[in-house]
Chain A
Amino acid sequence: MTDTLILAQATVGGIEQFWQMVVGGLALGTIYALLAMGFVIIFKATQVVNFAHGALVAVGAFLVALTAVEIDVPGRWIPSAPTWVTWALAAVLGVALGGAAGMVLERLFIRPMVGEPLFQIAILTVGLDIVLRTIVDDFAGLDGRPLADPWGTATATIGPVTVPHTQLVQLGVTVVAVVAVALFFRSRTGVAMRATAFDQEAARAQGITVGRIFGLSWLLGAVLAGVAGIFASIFPRAAGVSSATAFVAFGAFPAIILGGLDSIVGAIVGGIVIGLAESAASVYLTGFSNVLGSGFSAIIGYVIMLLVLLIRPYGLFGTEEVRRV
C-alpha cells in the first residue's frame, strides 16, 4: 500500500529496502490477519460468509472516533489522567461497543435465517454491508474523522528500518489478540464454540446454548474487526475513519480464502502472506507497471488467491469438504 511505498523510497534500495518492505508487509498483514481471524470465527461458528466484515471494521473504528474524540469518554471524567490512558480506555470502550453492535446484528438479521440456504445469508450480509457503510459514511462526512491516537506520526529507527510507533503497537496488539483468541478456545465457552462449529445438534444435546454461541462469535469477530479498524484508520495508513476504511476488508478476503475458510491458523498465515505480497508488489513490481498496470499491488492478493485455489480448492489449511451421497 502507499505507506510502505513512501517509507521504502526513503531508504535507497538493497537490503534496507527489503527489510522496510517486510515491516510494511507485516503491518498490513497483521490487519488482514485480525480481520481474517474474526471472519473465520464467524464462519466456523455460524456457517455465515460475512461480506459485512468491512462494515464492521468501519463501525468499530467509527465508534472509537466517537468515544475518543467526539464524546471523549472516559476522558471527560478524569481530566488529570495522561492522554494515552484515556485514549486506550476510550479505544477499548469503542471496540467493545463495536462488538456489541456485531452481536445485535447477529440477533436481528442472522438468527432468523438459521437453516436457510447459506448463499442467501451471504447476500443478506452484502445488504447489511451497504446499510452500515452508508450510515458510517454519512457520520464520517467527506473529510473523515480522526481518531486522535497518542502516537501521532512518531517513528522509531530499528536497525535499517524506520517504523512508525503505531505499527509497533499494532504488532504488539495483534500478538495479544492472537494469544487471547487461542486462550479463549481453551476456555469453557471456547470449547462450547468449537463444539458448536463441529456439530450444532450435538452441541445442543450437550446443553450448549447454540444461539448464545452465535452471538458470541459475532461479538468476537466484530471486536477483532474494530481493532483492525483502529489501525487501518490511523497513521500511516489513513488520517481517520472515512468511506475508504471499510475497503480494507476487500484486501482481507484473499487472505481468508488462501488460508482456508475454516482455519484460524490459516487466517493468520494467509493474512501475513497477503500483506507481505502486497507490500512486496508495491516495492518491487512498480517498475513493471507498463505490463501489470498501475495499482497492481491492490489486486495481487486476488491473483495469488486464484492460483492457490486452482491447486488447493480449500485453501492452504482448510479442511476438504467430504461429499457424501
Chain B
Amino acid sequence: MRGRPQLYTSYAADQALLNTGTKRLSFALFGVVLLCLPLGFIPGFRWAADADWMLVLAEVAILFIAALGLNLLTGLAGQVSLGHAFFMGVGAYVAAILGSPEGPLWGLGLPIWVWLPAAGLVAAAIGVLIAPTSFRVRGLYLAIVTLGLVFIGEHLFRNLDFITGGSQSGRTFPPLEFKFWKEETPFIDFATDGDWFGVELTGQAKTYYLMLGLALIAGLVAKNIQRTRAGRAFQSIRDRDIAAEITGVDEFRYKTIAFALSSFFAGVAGALFASFVGRTIPEAFGLPLSVEVIAIVLIGGAGVVSGMGMGAAFVIVMPLIVRTITEWLTQVAKTGEGVFQKIADVLVSTGTFDPGLVSASAGSGPGLNVFQLNQVLYGLLIVGFIIFEPLGLYGIWLRVRNYWKGWPFTY
C-alpha cells in the first residue's frame, strides 16, 4: 500500500513492530549509524569512535536495559518502585559470586553465559518474593516500602563483606569475556584490542558492540512483552486496578510477573554494570542509582521502549556536556578577550575570591563545582520534565514527528 501508510490490510501488518515505511527506514538508518560508529568514518560522528565515547555509549546501553526493567514495572504496570538499585545490586553480586575468579572473596570463576542469566534469574526470584507486598500495600505506600528495600539492601551488601568486599575496598567483578568453561584464554574478550572479521577494533569498541547487541535483545524482549497478554494486563492494572480485576485480570499473578520481569532486567543490567565498571563498593547500589533509573524512565517517557534509550542517553551524556562547557567557559574567562570574556567571568568563578555561578576547581570555593552543578541540573530536569513534558523526550519527539507528518499542510 505505497503512499498510504495508515492503511493496514492484515492484523500482522497492523501489529508489526515497525508498522510504517518511515519507521522501517529510520530504524535501519539508526542501526547502520550505531553499527558504524566505532569505525569512525561517518561524517559528523567521527568523534564518537573515540575510546572514551565508546565507553559512554556502552554505559548508556546498560542503563537502557535497567530502565527497561523499571519501565515494565512503573511505566506499564503502574507500580512505583524506588527499589530498582537493590535488584541491580543483587544481579551484580550474583555475577560476582559466579563469575569472579576464586580469591579471598567468594567467586567460582564461571563464564559469562552462566553468570549473566543467573544474575537476572536470582534477581527475578527475589522480585517474586517482594511482589506480594505490592498486592498488600498500594500506591505511594509501596514507594516508601521499596525505599526501605534499598536501605535494607544496602545494609546487607555492606555487611556481607565476604561477598561484597565491604564499603572500604569493594570488590572486583567478573571481566567481560566469552569462555566455554574455566579455561585460561577466552575466545572473545573485550579488554584488549584486536580484529573482528578483518576490522581492527579497540577493546572499548568491542565492549560497545556487546552492550549494543544486548540492549537490542533487551529492547526487543521488552517491546514484545508490551504486546503480549501479560503486557496488556499490566497496562489495565495501571489504568484501573479494580476494572482490571473485573475484566478477568488476575491482579496478584500479573503484579508478580511484572516484579519478576522487572527484576530480571535489573539483575542483568546490574551484572553488566558491575562487570563494565570492574570494581565497585556496595554503596554504588544505593538510592542515587534508583533515582537515576527513575529519572531515565521519566525523562525518556514512561511506558515507551524507545523513550528509555533517549532517556538513558540524555541522563548519561548531559553531565559530560555540562563539564565540557564549564571547562570551556573557564578557559574563556581566563584567557579570552572582549565581551565573551566578561560574560564567562560572571558565570565562572576562577579563583577563591572570584564570585560566580560555577567553579571549575573541585574545591568548596564560591559557586557550585561541576559535580554540584550537574546534580542541580539533574534535579531541575526531573522537575522540569514532569511539569512541562510528562511524556518526556518521547513526547517531544512525538510532537516533532506530528508536525512533519502533515508538513507543509499543518494548521
Contact = CB atoms under 8 A, between A and B. Distances in A.
A254 B152 CA distance: 12
Interface in B130-170: 133, 136-141, 143-145, 147-148, 151-152, 155-156, 158-160
Interface string A99-130: 00000000001001100101111111011111
A284 interface: no
A311 to B, nearest CB: 9
Given A119-B143, A306-B148, 10 more contacts: A134-B368, A134-B375, A253-B147, A253-B148, A257-B144, A299-B148, A302-B148, A303-B152, A313-B141, A323-B242
A141 interface: yes
A131 interface: yes
Interface string A129-148: 11100110110011000000
A190 B380 CA distance: 33
B106 interface: no
B185 to A, nearest CB: 39
Given A293-B158, A302-B152, A135 B376 contact: yes
B246 to A, nearest CB: 7
B383 A134 contact: no
Nearest to A110: B387
Interface in A304-325: 305-306, 309-310, 313-314, 321, 323, 325
Contacts of A250: 147, 151
A128 B141 contact: no
A123 B144 contact: no
Interface in A256-298: 256-257, 261, 292-296, 298
Contact of A293 (B159, B372, B375): B159
Interface in B290-320: 291, 294-295, 298
B155 A299 contact: yes
B364 A127 contact: no
B359 to A, nearest CB: 10
B375 A112 contact: no
Contacts of B133: 306, 309-310
Contact of B246 (A129, A302, A310, A325): A325
Most buried by B among A49, A141, A256, A302: A302
B148 A254 contact: yes
Q: Which 10 A/B pairs are nearest by Cβ-Cβ distance? A: A293-B159, A127-B382, A130-B379, A131-B379, A302-B148, A127-B383, A134-B375, A141-B364, A127-B379, A124-B386
A261 B141 CA distance: 8
A309 B139 contact: no
Contact of B141 (A141, A257, A325): A257
Interface string B253-282: 000000000000000000000000000000
Contact of A299 (B137, B151, B372): B151
B380 A131 contact: yes
A43 to B, nearest CB: 9
A309 B130 CA distance: 13
Contacts of B375: 130-131, 134
Contacts of B344: none
A141 B242 CA distance: 50
B50 to A, nearest CB: 30
B319 to A, nearest CB: 13
Given A112-B387, A138-B372, A126 B152 contact: no
15 contacts: A109-B387, A118-B140, A120-B386, A123-B298, A127-B380, A131-B375, A131-B376, A293-B160, A299-B151, A306-B145, A306-B152, A309-B141, A309-B145, A313-B136, A313-B141
Contacts of A109: 383, 387
B386 A113 contact: yes
Interface of A: 49, 109, 112-113, 116, 118-124, 126-131, 134-135, 137-138, 141-142, 250, 253-254, 256-257, 261, 292-296, 298-299, 302-303, 305-306, 309-310, 313-314, 321, 323, 325
A53 B295 CA distance: 19
B152 A137 contact: no
A313 B291 contact: no
A49 B143 contact: yes
B137 A309 contact: yes
A124 B385 CA distance: 9
A123 B386 contact: yes
Contacts of A135: 368, 372, 376
B34 interface: no
B80 interface: yes
A150 to B, nearest CB: 28
A113 B158 CA distance: 38
B381 interface: yes
Contacts of A112: 387
Contacts of A309: 133, 136-137, 141, 145
A250 B295 CA distance: 20
B292 to A, nearest CB: 10
B371 to A, nearest CB: 9
B378 interface: yes
B356 interface: no
Contacts of B117: none
A297 to B, nearest CB: 10
Nearest to A251: B151
Most buried by A among B133, B159, B367, B381: B159
A104 to B, nearest CB: 14
A302 B151 contact: yes
A142 B246 CA distance: 57
B373 to A, nearest CB: 9
A218 to B, nearest CB: 15
B390 interface: yes
A121 B386 CA distance: 8
Contacts of A123: 294, 298, 382, 386
A314 B380 contact: no
A261 B144 CA distance: 10
